[in-house]
Amino acid sequence: MTNDALDKKLNEVFTGKVVRKDLLLQVKKGTNVPSFVLEFLLARYCASDDPREIQQGLAAVLETIQKNYVRPDESNKAQMIVQQKGKHTFIDKIHVRYFEKEKRPWARMENFNSSRIAINERYYQSENDRIFEGGIWAECTVAHNEVDDDDYAFYIEELRPIQLSKFDFGAFVEGRKQFSRDEWIDVLIRSFGLEPSWMSKRLKFHYLARLFPLVESNYNFIELGPRGNGKSYTFSEFSPYATLLGAPTSAATLFWNAQRKQVGVIGYWDVVAFDEVGEGVTVRDKETFQVMKQYMANGNFNRGGSTVTANASLAFVGNVDDSVESIVNSYEHDLFKPLHPVFDLAILDRFHTYVPGWEIPKNRDENLARSYGLIIEYLAEAFHYLSRNTNRFAYAKSVCKLGKGYDQRDQTAVLKTVCAFLKMLHPGGEPNPEEIEEYLRYAIEGRRRVKEQLNKRKPDDEFANIDLSFVNGAGDEVVVYCPESKTAEPTQRPVRAAISSQRTIIAVPAPKVAEVPSASVITSSLSEDRSIPRERHYRIHYGATGYSYETIFKDYLPGCEEITVEDPYIRVYHQIVNFLRFCETAVRLGKPKRICLITNFDDDAERKEGMTKLAIVSESLKQYDVQLEVQVNPHLHDREIRLSTGWTVKIGRGFDIYQRPDDWLNIGANDLDLRPCLETTVDIYPSANAASNDIKGQAAKIENLVSNHAS
């Protein structure tokens, strides 16, 4: 079916529930508002085929965002607007937390950056419990409190969650029946924001696999691959029922808080996803992973003398920096190599599928959808219903003929993946045998990829049965392979360790190769040299901990003699305090001789006060033989820190990345590693000169590697 024909059919069948995806592209750039929020506005203002009405609606959406969306660095301005106007409506993410000491709840709005907003119980009692754990996006009318005796400045006058008020699953199923299976796959891919016409069926299945945790409860998912191919998007922007966190947090936050006798985030979401799991995660609470083992296996965990059951799926996404070819052909390494050692065999064995992210291309404008797709929020509601109210396991077990040698975890993993396909592609019907075989092949491959890595790690034969198979319609048993490792001897037949009588392990050496190493081997060797600081790009999620200035800068400051800080928002007291903390970190980790601060001020009074405080910082730095130079640039807007070691660090919020403590006697008030963060991005990359020097250094390393291997 052509794009025009599918557009027409989609509009006829799902009238009022579709949106042109190219409109989303026009309003998405320049904001960090989730796509489901933007499409909520597009559906309100652009529900028409008339080009003139669409342009008018698009203008209304952009005007709404401009007036009502708060940029993270404009929270002060937003609060002043409320104070001056009396009230104003904002689009923001809102949380509600109960404070036992005060015996009342307070609301916190992320970008508005206030954590002490009064809220009437009618707004949080009538809404989903997610407002308490993780928060919800909403249109919030914030009013100014004129009562001088009250200890708060703002209160919520009205709150309208950005989500459907009603979802008709029966109508959704009837609509699905009007499309063939392959047409429906294209509808889903388009709704996801991508153009399916250029994709192979295998690539389409990869994109659908990212949605499996949203439709199948208690599904354990992992994808590792290159940066920039949209791994995190699914869980941060596609659904209001998914939450994306940084590294796995404490057991109290994730599972159960014994002091509050309250279930953690696992009890409030359909999917809890963890981002950047391969980016040098710092694990502070190993108990989290002990509890996680039980939860990933059974969907429950024991806390406080009782068993707590939850339905949330767990998803882990991260990056692979090494050549996949070199990994699968290595006797030492496996495709779980980027993960922290705390991901032991017991946790890895509980993954139902491993999606090969290296097969998914990076996002490019030309690959994005320009046609109609279902409104993300509508599709998210359908997936939420499918996750919580449907069960296709018995049917999947009856139609899937698995081969010999499956253990219980293998069988469960394969059947749950097939269930996800059935729910997503056949919500009200049954697939034909050929389609079942397609789903089985993909499900078995995803589980085999997990087992192959386990088999390489384990010194015995516990996971040696990697040749998982199924019986096709002709009665033949078909073994399924992973394409990246099918011919890789080290993965198919890994070297086992020999154990002596004294129980010491003696590694069996791999055969020596005399020829010059391949490029992939050289690349792997270079990437394993951890003494060289690496380029990094990552997101710090709202509420995440473990991101002190020392954690962010520790690999890049040693040996640094000059630092240039460009930040137009180092003006008022708390911003200057943050700058001081960075200076302390620089003095402790590096040997700076000069720090240059380039900033700006709104008026002469602010400039005078700010320069007075910065003069105190300057005098203090002189005690450590560090010169502080302050320059004013009225045209400055972007923020970046340039280090003489050749690295540039860009943090979206500058140094202002931490939440204000609810009380200065709370844990995290002084230790920034324990302070919850505001959401922002961090980009660390070499400067142009440093990149040139780095290329020369890498060339020298390659030359040494070649000569060493040759000898």
What pLDDT, in 10s, does the model give residues 128-168?
A: 566 876 678 888 999 999 888 888 899 999 988 876 657 89
Query: What CATH number was assigned to the domain covering residues 169-391?
Result: 3.40.50.300
Question: Where in the chain are all domains bearing CATH 3.30.870.30?
Answer: 536-695
Q: How confident is the model at residue 706 (pLDDT cuts 50, 70, 90)?
A: very low
pLDDT for residue 392:
95
- Residue 504 CA to residue 394 CA, distance in Å, equals 47
Could you tell me if 322 and 226 are in contact, meaning their C-beta atoms sit under 8 angstroms apart?
no
List the single range of 102-116, 235-249, 424-438, 520-534 with lowest mean pLDDT.
520-534
> Is the pTM for the entire model greater than 0.85?
no
Question: Where in the chain are all domains bearing CATH 2.40.50?
Answer: 72-161
Q: Which CATH number fits domain 72-161: 1.10.3470, 2.60.40, 2.40.50, 3.30.43?
A: 2.40.50
Say whether 630 sits in a helix, a strand or coil: strand
pLDDT tens-digit series, residues 648-700: 999 988 999 998 887 888 888 889 988 988 888 899 999 865 544 544 454 45
Distances (CA, A) of 314 to 242, 286, 518, 616, 625: 10, 17, 37, 49, 50
pLDDT for residue 54:
82
pLDDT of 355 over the 50 cut: yes
Could you tell me if 247 and 282 are in contact, meaning their C-beta atoms sit under 8 angstroms apart?
yes
Give the chain's mean pLDDT.
84
Share of the chain above pLDDT 90, in %: 46
pLDDT of 3 over the 70 cut: no
Query: What is the number of H-type helices and E-type strands within the chain?
Result: 25, 27
User: Can you tell me which residue has the tokens 């002060």?
Assistant: 76
- Residue 283 CA to residue 286 CA, distance in Å, equals 7
pLDDT for residue 520:
39
> Which CATH superfamily does the domain covering 536-695 fall into?
MITD, C-terminal phospholipase D-like domain (3.30.870.30)
Q: How confident is the model at residue 469 (pLDDT cuts 50, 70, 90)?
A: very high
Q: In what order do the strands lie in the sheet with 313-319?
A: 242-245, 271-274, 313-319, 220-225, 353-356
User: Can you tell me which residue has the tokens 């559906």?
Assistant: 43
pLDDT for residue 192:
87
Question: Where in the chain are all domains bearing CATH 3.40.50.300?
Answer: 169-391
pLDDT of 202 over the 80 cut: yes
